[in-house]
Amino acid sequence: MQAMSNPSCQQTVVVKNEKGLHLRPAELVARLAMQFDSTVMVTKDDQSADCKNMLSVLTLGAVQGTQLGLSAEGSDAAEALSAVAELFDQGFHELDSE
């Protein structure tokens, strides 16, 4: 049997910005994830959230320094994962103002 045709990828990211994963970063993550066909999930401990759902992302309560797992599955999984991971790496564009 063939493996699943949808590729999947995983990556670990760290919340870098001082205020953590609050409303504005959660909204940025959701807006970015919605640009892709793939499903992008973010996981903290045993809790997972769909990156396309801002409120779901907020419920993770990720503060500065929290390690999160990102996973993506679908036709553009690698692109989606890379884009969302880069947003985390850039501190949601808040690092410049701190």
Domain ranges of the chain: 8-97
Q: Out of 8, 19, 20, 22, which one is annotated catalytic?
A: 22
Rounded Cα–Cα distance for residues 93 and 75 (Å): 27
Return the pLDDT at 25: 95
Residue 93 is a catalytic residue: no
Return the pLDDT at 96: 59
pTM listed for this prediction: 0.88
Return the pLDDT at 8: 82
**Cβ-Cβ contacts under 8 Å for 96 (sequence gap 6 or more):** none
Q: How many other C-beta atoms lie within 10 A of the C-beta of residue 49?
A: 24
Structural tokens at position 77: 């999984």
Q: Do residues 89 and 16 make contact, with C-beta atoms less than 8 angstroms apart?
A: yes
Architecture of the 8-97 domain: 2-Layer Sandwich (3.30)
**Mean pLDDT in runs of 10 for the chain (98 residues)?**
62 95 96 98 97 97 97 96 96 72
Q: Do residues 34 and 92 make contact, with C-beta atoms less than 8 angstroms apart?
A: no
Return the pLDDT at 92: 92
